Amino acid sequence: MSNNLKFAKSHEWVSVDESGLATVGISDYAQSALGDVVFVDLPKIGATVSASAEVAVVESVKAASDIYTPVSGEIVEINTALQTAPDLINSSPLDAGWLYRIKLTNVAELDGLLDEKAYAAVCE
């Protein structure tokens, strides 16, 4: 996982590796606001999604929250560990608690996302 995270105002993060594959999860701020995560409904591998589309649901002891994809592309991998250990989102939201990996179809969408400093300002 790179430290080059970009954030959506809807509290998802994205990190792109050298091959152009993006990993998506929810921010530490979001998992903290949700409380203990008890279930995750992940997108289907092979699904083609557009930026801002609802792709997953994270359920906590407090509420169920829709997860929106910050970038467009094809879902190529999901974090199957979350099926038996959804609390990874709480304990490691920016690493082991990632949600899915997506093959980008529009790299320019990354330019519309926030860096860590700008995202921190949104959360204040």
| DSSP line for 23-78 | EEEE-HHHHHHH-SEEEEEPPPTT-EE-TT-EEEEEEESS-EEEEE-SS-EEEEEE
Instruction: State the pTM of this model.
Output: 0.95
pLDDT digits 0-9 by tens, 16-73: 998 889 999 999 999 999 999 999 999 999 999 999 999 999 999 999 999 999 999 9
In the chain, the domains with their CATH numbers are 6-108 (2.40.50.100)
> CA–CA separation, 19 vs 114, rounded Å?
21
